[in-house]
Amino acid sequence: MSSYESDEMMSVEAARQLREVTACFVGIGLPSTGANLARRTVNPDLVLVYEAGAIGAKPPRLPLSIGDGMLGETADYIASVPEIFNYWVQPGRIEVGFLGAAQLDRFANINTTVVGDYANPKVRLPGAGGAPEIAASCGEVIVIVRQSPRAFVERVDFITSVGHGDGPGARERLGLRGKGPTKVITDLGILEPDPESRELVLTHVHPGVSAEQAQEATGWDLKLADELKTTEPPTQEELKALRELVAA
């Protein structure tokens, strides 16, 4: 088995989730790495949509930001930011949205606004950007975040983007179009919402990771799936494509 880093496992698993997806709304960081890797491996026809307006971008390297000029140069179409959200995101035309998080709670609500009290925070984070609309209206959301008790908290300090609210029926009561987070990919495994309670459950661990490690890295009593699985390790081909992408 090839040697690889935990971030590489996350990026490879994120790419695999896009195997049969037509269009994906991409953030910067690990979400961008996973989506661009998918185009180079499992789904060459994947349409990448970036918040600044690039639709069908085909970047030869990882973009530095959502406004990287390379995205516009390689895109099929450039839209205005209002058009991206009013015409593409909010009507539900994007199948998958990729999001990161500073904090995530047991119902997959996301905080990227503040840590601590809103009026007097310990840390002020980058903020919402387009994440609330992505979380509300994309067909489904995949969250990519490193797992630790600091990030995986019982209750987020501020809900920037709604996941499954306070449990069953919360999204419907709020009138949110999309399914919300369907998977949370971490450096330890994969969490998915329970069909009934909507609480995140550990369904997969990555090779070499134990369920206990994942539970210890979680700020709530993380439940395990009845049939806990192990993700497939990255293949030589996946690692080669990923490392070429990152080095470009």
User: Which tens digits make up the pLDDT trace of 166-190?
Assistant: 999 999 999 999 999 999 999 999 9
The domains of the chain are located at 6-247
pLDDT digits 0-9 by tens, 101-129: 999 999 999 999 999 999 999 999 988 98
CA dist 87 and 245 (Å) reads 31
Q: What is the mean pLDDT of the chain?
A: 95
Where in the chain does DSSP place strands (E)? 23-26, 47-50, 54-55, 77-78, 96-99, 103-104, 110-111, 114-116, 121-124, 140-144, 181-185, 189-193, 200-205, 223-230
36-91 pLDDT tens trace: 999 999 999 999 999 999 999 999 999 998 889 999 999 999 999 999 999 999 99
Residue-level pLDDT at 195: 96
pLDDT bin (cut points 50, 70, 90) of residue 27 is confident
Q: Does domain 6-247 sit in CATH 3.40.50.1110?
A: no
pLDDT band at 28 (very low <50, low <70, confident <90, very high): confident
Q: How far apart are CA 110 and CA 155, in angstroms?
A: 10
Q: Which two tokens stand for residue 193?
A: 């919402």
Residue 53: strand, helix, or coil: coil
| pLDDT exceeds cutoff 90 at 1 | no
Summarize pLDDT for 209-245 with one digit per residue, the tens.
Answer: 999 999 999 999 999 999 999 999 999 999 999 999 9
Q: How many CA atoms lie within 13 A of 168 on its CB side?
A: 4
Tokens encoding 65? 């930001």
Q: How far is CA 115 from CA 101, 137, 178, 184, 200, in A?
A: 12, 25, 27, 21, 21
Q: Indicate which residues carry an active-site annotation.
A: 51
- pLDDT of residue 94 exceeding 80, the answer is yes
* 248: confidence class by pLDDT, cuts 50, 70, 90: confident
106 vs 185: CA distance, rounded Å: 14
Output the pLDDT for position 67.
87
Calculate the alpha carbon distances from 34 to 104, 203, 206 in Å: 20, 20, 16
pTM for this entry:
0.94
